[in-house]
Structure 1
Amino acid sequence: MLSSAEIAARRHRHARWSEQAQQLFEQNPARYWTGLALLIAAGYLLLTLTVMTPLLVLVAVVAALIFKPILFLLLKKAIIFLFALIYWLFKSLWVKAEIPQGYLLNEQQCPALFAELQALRKSLRVPTIHQVLLDGSYNAGVIQTPRLGLLGWYHNTLVLGLPLLLTVDTAQARAVLAHELGHLSRNHGAFGNWVYRLRLRWWRVLMVLDNASESGARGLAQTIERFVSYFSAYTLVYARRCEFEADAVAAELTSKPVAASALVATHVSASWLDDAFWQPTYRRADHEAEPVADIYQQLRAFTQQQSVPAADVERYLAALQRRQVEAFDSHPPTRERVAALEQIPQWQPPTQQAAERWLGPALDTVLNDFSRQWRQYHAEGWQSHHQSLQADRERYQAIRTMDDHALSKDEQWDLARLTERFQPDADALVLYQRFHDQYPDDLTGQFVLGQRLLAKNDGRGVEYLTKAYEEFALREAVCACLVDYFIGQADSEQTERWERRAREHHDALRSAQAERATLLKTDSFESANLDAEALQQLHYSLLQTAAIKRAWVARKIVRHPGPPVHVIAIEVGGFFTSNGKVQAAMQAAAHGMRNSMPVLVVATQGGTAELGRKIKLVGQAIYPA
């Protein structure tokens, strides 16, 4: 398992290598392509050696056992490890590619769309598009799925986002479609997908070796990681170049101004829909018990009747101009793509919805189907939010009837929070300030107070947010607030500082999540120190698992801050306990615990016996009571 420092080091190396590869491509393209070919050949050689080496070692060990069977007692653990490593390595090499599924369109439904598609295919001489899917994203793309694995024979799927078609006109949509087909015409898809799957195989091999506790495997993992990271950084340059080439194809089939306006429109309209339509829609759950029934019909009417305000256009274009390419970005910044078309970023309001033209009479059916699916998907979360809000409303009314001087800490916090929620015209900042004055060490209070001060452009908020950064759970939000504030203040030094801290926190968070989701033989444990009520709850959760004879609970000792990681070790009863029986009991125990608390489950028998014995030594007995 990687530490946050190791993840940060990998990120830094990746960024440096990506920049070097970009410079090489700009200065000497021929040398870049030669390097790519050599990297691919070296990668296959390294992959072969990685998989074949443990296989050859295992063959040698088995051969030695034939002549000296007594060696089995000495080499038992090594043989088990080799078998497991070979299994997971071969499994990691199989990258299964499924043909995408979704809302299928056909030529009878949408003749105008398929006529446009056929015309562009004829102009670009691209392969057949086997299916056209519609989804709810603000995006478009062509997905190539190899039906014969490494041998190819690609199934081509065009995916179009319905919100995209509702916010761009026909000319802009044609440019978007030409861009995606341009990838096919230049064979970007086949080669790019091949490179992607090759990179994915290496990353999967790396994950297997990273999680191996043996020092030899970890040493091999370090070697492979550097190669895979370098290959990934090197090929991102190619991926970004593909975008420029596809943009040129779009400009050739439409025009440079239209292709550029399509790039800008997708950026501006996506941000506008999120701010002006989707966020207000989700806020309706505050007052409405059921999700909106005709959401996509409302989206259609909204995009027909509303236009992006000039102030918002200016704000979105400013964000577009500020964005810099990140180390892991496969797409160049939009401003660079627009500049490559010899244009400047400008907002061109759509003249007619592409959805109206391309989907025609089928649009009404599509909107009905999407609305129904959206309502079904959001029903549970929407209702839960609404019920929670009603409970908050009742609590707010109760707190308001109390004497301010008699309020507990939680009641004071809820008074400020709920006043801001239910009385937006009231100045909740005064209540947050009062809470902070009484509880100056509460970091959540520091965060909210600082956030509200910066919203009023009061620089005192920086001090409060800097203090709140000490709380691990608040770091991501603190960084986002301060980056936004310093961008508005045109303070590039502080903006870069807090962006760097955000990346560092992201790396630490990934390490913390991985640490809490996995168990290794090298892990240490301590008593969970659960009270009698919590132990009784765990006991009842295990009652339905008949195979369990005894069980213990302990807490994993972790390096990263966050909630505790509880691990339950079970002992399976019976005269004969096969691995299958142990695994079934572990799965049943985990299922029984799903409503109690988040836990990991191991057993004192089978493959997790070593971990189970550790937990048994320090854990609290929970079964039988």
Structure 2
Amino acid sequence: MTPVQASASSAAPASTFNSRQRLSLTLLALASELIFVTVVILPIAPFVMLQAAIWGAGFAAVFGVTAFTFLWWLVQPSPGTVGRHAVRREEAPALFEMVDGLCTNAAAPRIHRIVLDNELNAAAYQTGGFLSLLGSRRTLILGVPLLRMLNLDEVKAVIAHELGHFSRNHGRLGHWIYRVRAKWDHYLHMQGNDSFVDGGLKAIASWFVPYFVSRSSSWSRQCEFEADTVAARASSARHLTDALARLEFISFLLARKLPTQLSSLRMQSAQAPGNFWSITAELAETNRSAMPQALAEGANRPRRAQDTHPALRERATALGLLVEPPPIESSPCAGDILLGKEWARVLTACNEDWQKNTQVSWRFDHLRMRWLVTGGVHALFSQQTAAQTELATAIVQEQLQGDDASLALLSAAATRHPEMAMAHFYLGLALLERGDDAGIQELRQSIRLDKRIALGAQNVICGYLASHGDQKAAREAVIRRRYTHERLTPLYEQLWEALLCRSLRAIAPGAVPLLAEVLAGEPLTDGCWAVQLDLPDATGLSHTVNILVMRIDHEQAHKADLGEDDLRARYQNYLQAVIPPDQLAMVHTVYTSEPLNPRLLKQLQAVPGSEIIAPARPLNLDIIRIDSI
């Protein structure tokens, strides 16, 4: 296989991030933190003043400092702990021996702990200290999938790279910048109606985040080059480049090849597989011929302002190497060697975590695929014309196969019926699933043809650009979606009053069987109703609004550690999957530990066919008065 050539003009490493630029970035991060300090103080200021009036200035000062410290700690983003567990030295002596040796070779300070997680990645971060700013505890994170997919030499080079961040003192500033970006990014992507404070922060974030991301990403990329240099000295530049090339290949397979295989497995079983990373390893083994394509696409991928890591070709060029396909592996994976007898248990736990985290959505996708194949797809259309039948066939094939043939069917439907908004919508979805930016234009064409599709299409575009697009395009997409939310605001404001007072109707009959089957299999469900009504937006355009009223068993929800927002997002996904994209989906949740508004209950019971799941527990016992929904 031919090495990927590196052009000196396009792949030269970035210029050094000098001390003046570093100081500028530090001051910018500090300014953002001061704004956040102000935001944290504002909510507690009235309480502090009240305490001062009642108990005196001394008590108020102690109360204010305590409350501020707690709130400040609360808003700090965390690297996360899902699927992570620390490894003890006696469990993996070979791993610790390697890391100790690399610390010496890389002139890096000692690592306080090594943690395994479920990501196809490795990371190093520094935490601890007052208000999470004065970090002194160094952690090395190794993804179990990384240990499964790479060989020993490649993992050694990756670890050397991570230690290089400590060797070059990237830890404190890097972790601080991560927190600043994470906090402001939350407000940049916030949707819906805002409080006065949130609205102000969103406005600041829309200006600040793109600028800060651009500045901080340049510094982050320079840090990666510096860490690569340390890794080349402490381990091997060739092995590091091979590791990066193999990860590029695996990422290509996960995005382009694996979905088709998983679709076949979903159709066969409602149980998510318990050997996900073995499936991925077998996929890599049987698709070696796709390696040149994966590396070529990676080499030609344009750099975005928000990219924190240089492209593979840039990194190889900086090390004086060409990107070559890594050797075919027949030896044991790195995890088998470094973790020894613990490896089988660790890999099994990683696969079980994937299965557990995927099971709910996997079962739903399985049932939805069966529903589509057996005629449920027609519930996505208000009429049954020849054009809609053609599109329905293409949608089913895309769900089942997700290959070039199904994409060709969707493309043909959009070409033959250019006036059909839904044809462009589903073609856009399929293209973006394959990482093809042309899907954005198809989705925008669907919006031009039917403004009722706007919110769903813009949500897809924003999600795609957040991970694939440049910062300017992502910002423009967020602004467009915000305009759509503003147009829909009058509809949202009158929705619940209309739900209590207006005449309702049942949702499309074809959608009911899937919802009933999905929800009946979830122990959380203790009653479900689905209705719809028509409401106008700010321009007078009428929208069909589908409302799913969910009664949730509070004990089961607590046992599953699921919050109301998580459950609402899950049920929103269920509802959106069974209605056309030109209709809106809303979810109202109520727990079995609280009453269901009697007026709402009366409205629901008056609609034949609205009850999807009958409540098992009695409704509204010993209720005297309920004033609001």
TM-score in same-fold range (> 0.5): yes
CA–CA separation in structure 2 for the residues paired with 1:439 and 1:139: 44
Task: Give the structure 2 partner of residue 342 of structure 1.
Answer: 320
CA–CA separation in structure 1 for the residues paired with 2:359 and 2:534: 37
Q: Say whether residues 1:394 and 2:374 are aligned partners.
A: yes
Q: Say whether residues 1:444 and 2:422 are aligned partners.
A: yes
Residue 32 of structure 1 aligns with an amino acid whose one-letter code is: Q
The structure-2 alpha-carbon separation of the partners of 1:341 and 1:511, relative to structure 1 and needing over 3 Å to count, comes to farther
Q: Which runs of 5+ in 1 are unaligned?
A: 1-24, 65-83, 400-405, 482-494, 536-552, 569-585, 603-618
What is the Cα deviation at residue 196 of structure 1?
Answer: 3.3
1:526-556 deviation digits (Å, cap 9, x = unpaired): 7747533469xxxxxxxxxxxxxxxxx9979
Aligned ranges for residues 253-264 of structure 1 at < 5 Å?
253-264=234-245
What is the DSSP-based 3-state SS (H/G/I as helix, E as strand, rest coil) of the residue aligned with 2:115? strand
Task: Give the structure 2 partner of residue 130 of structure 1.
Answer: 112
The structure-2 alpha-carbon separation of the partners of 1:134 and 1:511, relative to structure 1 and needing over 3 Å to count, comes to farther
Aligned ranges for residues 76-115 of structure 1 at < 5 Å?
91=71, 94-96=74-76, 97=78, 100=81, 102-115=84-97
Provide TM-score, normalisation by structure 2. 0.61
The structure-2 alpha-carbon separation of the partners of 1:467 and 1:265, relative to structure 1 and needing over 3 Å to count, comes to same
What is the Cα deviation at residue 92 of structure 1?
Answer: 5.7
CA–CA separation in structure 2 for the residues paired with 1:452 and 1:186: 43
Residue 357 of structure 1 aligns with an amino acid whose one-letter code is: I
CA–CA separation in structure 2 for the residues paired with 1:31 and 1:163: 39
Q: Say whether residues 1:155 and 2:168 are aligned partners.
A: no
The structure-2 alpha-carbon separation of the partners of 1:56 and 1:224, relative to structure 1 and needing over 3 Å to count, comes to farther
Aligned ranges for residues 354-373 of structure 1 at < 5 Å?
354-373=334-353
What is the Cα deviation at residue 211 of structure 1?
Answer: 4.3
Q: Say whether residues 1:213 and 2:196 are aligned partners.
A: yes
Task: Give the structure 2 partner of residue 508 of structure 1.
Answer: 480
CA–CA separation in structure 1 for the residues paired with 2:539 and 2:402: 41
Counterpart contact for 1:444–1:468, Cα < 8 Å: yes
Aligned ranges for residues 177-576 of structure 1 at < 5 Å?
177-198=159-180, 211-213=194-196, 230-277=211-258, 279-300=260-281, 305-306=285-286, 308-309=288-289, 312-351=290-329, 352=331, 353-395=333-375, 411=389, 413-418=391-396, 441-446=419-424, 467-468=445-446, 470=448, 471-472=453-454, 473-474=456-457, 504-509=476-481, 525=494, 528=498, 530-533=502-505
Residue 298 of structure 2 aligns with an amino acid whose one-letter code is: L
Q: Say whether residues 1:598 and 2:566 are aligned partners.
A: no
The structure-2 alpha-carbon separation of the partners of 1:350 and 1:361, relative to structure 1 and needing over 3 Å to count, comes to farther
Counterpart contact for 1:524–1:557, Cα < 8 Å: no
What is the Cα deviation at residue 183 of structure 1?
Answer: 0.9
What is the DSSP-based 3-state SS (H/G/I as helix, E as strand, rest coil) of the residue aligned with 2:196? coil
Counterpart contact for 1:297–1:368, Cα < 8 Å: no
CA–CA separation in structure 1 for the residues paired with 2:544 and 2:377: 32
Task: Give the structure 1 partner of residue 593 of structure 2.
Answer: none
What is the Cα deviation at residue 435 of structure 1?
Answer: 6.9
Counterpart contact for 2:106–2:233, Cα < 8 Å: no
Counterpart contact for 1:479–1:501, Cα < 8 Å: no
Residue 95 of structure 2 aligns with an amino acid whose one-letter code is: L
What is the Cα deviation at residue 277 of structure 1?
Answer: 4.3
Counterpart contact for 2:123–2:142, Cα < 8 Å: yes
Task: Give the structure 2 partner of residue 12 of structure 1.
Answer: none
What is the Cα deviation at residue 228 of structure 1?
Answer: 6.6
The structure-2 alpha-carbon separation of the partners of 1:525 and 1:267, relative to structure 1 and needing over 3 Å to count, comes to same
Task: Give the structure 2 partner of residue 116 of structure 1.
Answer: 98
Counterpart contact for 1:176–1:259, Cα < 8 Å: yes
The structure-2 alpha-carbon separation of the partners of 1:173 and 1:462, relative to structure 1 and needing over 3 Å to count, comes to closer
The structure-2 alpha-carbon separation of the partners of 1:223 and 1:389, relative to structure 1 and needing over 3 Å to count, comes to closer
Residue 137 of structure 1 aligns with an amino acid whose one-letter code is: E
1:386-441 deviation digits (Å, cap 9, x = unpaired): 33333344339999xxxxxx977765543454467679999889987997799763
Counterpart contact for 2:92–2:339, Cα < 8 Å: yes
* More off after superposition, 250-259 vs 99-108: 99-108
What is the DSSP-based 3-state SS (H/G/I as helix, E as strand, rest coil) of the residue aligned with 1:291? coil
What is the Cα deviation at residue 322 of structure 1?
Answer: 1.8
CA–CA separation in structure 2 for the residues paired with 1:419 and 1:267: 29
Residue 349 of structure 1 aligns with an amino acid whose one-letter code is: P
Residue 347 of structure 1 aligns with an amino acid whose one-letter code is: P
1:497-522 deviation digits (Å, cap 9, x = unpaired): x9976763354346757998xx99xx
Counterpart contact for 2:86–2:114, Cα < 8 Å: yes
Residue 598 of structure 1 aligns with an amino acid whose one-letter code is: M
1:55-109 deviation digits (Å, cap 9, x = unpaired): 9999999999xxxxxxxxxxxxxxxxxxx9x999983674344773624433333
The structure-2 alpha-carbon separation of the partners of 1:56 and 1:554, relative to structure 1 and needing over 3 Å to count, comes to farther
What is the Cα deviation at residue 202 of structure 1?
Answer: 6.6
Please identify the structure whose Cα radius of gyration is greater.
Answer: 1
Among candidates 156, 168, 183, match of residue 150 of structure 2: 168
CA–CA separation in structure 2 for the residues paired with 1:391 and 1:601: 25
CA–CA separation in structure 2 for the residues paired with 1:93 and 1:531: 48
CA–CA separation in structure 1 for the residues paired with 2:589 and 2:376: 41
Counterpart contact for 2:106–2:231, Cα < 8 Å: no
CA–CA separation in structure 2 for the residues paired with 1:382 and 1:300: 20
Residue 94 of structure 2 aligns with an amino acid whose one-letter code is: A
Residue 505 of structure 1 aligns with an amino acid whose one-letter code is: A
What is the DSSP-based 3-state SS (H/G/I as helix, E as strand, rest coil) of the residue aligned with 2:142? strand
The structure-2 alpha-carbon separation of the partners of 1:289 and 1:346, relative to structure 1 and needing over 3 Å to count, comes to same
Counterpart contact for 2:108–2:163, Cα < 8 Å: yes
Among candidates 5, 28, 32, match of residue 21 of structure 2: 32
Residue 226 of structure 2 aligns with an amino acid whose one-letter code is: E
What is the DSSP-based 3-state SS (H/G/I as helix, E as strand, rest coil) of the residue aligned with 1:346? coil
The structure-2 alpha-carbon separation of the partners of 1:431 and 1:177, relative to structure 1 and needing over 3 Å to count, comes to closer
CA–CA separation in structure 2 for the residues paired with 1:318 and 1:28: 29
CA–CA separation in structure 1 for the residues paired with 2:540 and 2:18: 44
Counterpart contact for 1:131–1:157, Cα < 8 Å: yes
CA–CA separation in structure 2 for the residues paired with 1:295 and 1:111: 27
The structure-2 alpha-carbon separation of the partners of 1:368 and 1:191, relative to structure 1 and needing over 3 Å to count, comes to same
Residue 252 of structure 1 aligns with an amino acid whose one-letter code is: R
What is the Cα deviation at residue 141 of structure 1?
Answer: 0.7
CA–CA separation in structure 1 for the residues paired with 2:74 and 2:322: 45
The structure-2 alpha-carbon separation of the partners of 1:201 and 1:394, relative to structure 1 and needing over 3 Å to count, comes to closer
What is the DSSP-based 3-state SS (H/G/I as helix, E as strand, rest coil) of the residue aligned with 1:133? strand
Aligned ranges for residues 601-616 of structure 1 at < 5 Å?
none
Task: Give the structure 2 partner of residue 616 of structure 1.
Answer: none
Residue 168 of structure 1 aligns with an amino acid whose one-letter code is: L
Q: Which runs of 5+ in 2 are unaligned?
A: 1-13, 54-63, 508-532, 550-563, 576-584, 591-602, 607-625
Task: Give the structure 2 partner of residue 485 of structure 1.
Answer: none
> Between Structure 1 and Structure 2, how many residues are aligned?
502
What is the Cα deviation at residue 302 of structure 1?
Answer: 5.4
Residue 166 of structure 1 aligns with an amino acid whose one-letter code is: R
Residue 121 of structure 2 aligns with an amino acid whose one-letter code is: N
Residue 167 of structure 1 aligns with an amino acid whose one-letter code is: M
Residue 321 of structure 1 aligns with an amino acid whose one-letter code is: A
Aligned Cα RMSD in Å?
6.0
Percent identity of paired positions between Structure 1 and Structure 2: 25
The structure-2 alpha-carbon separation of the partners of 1:370 and 1:418, relative to structure 1 and needing over 3 Å to count, comes to same
1:188-236 deviation digits (Å, cap 9, x = unpaired): 122211333355567789989x94538xx97798678756764444333
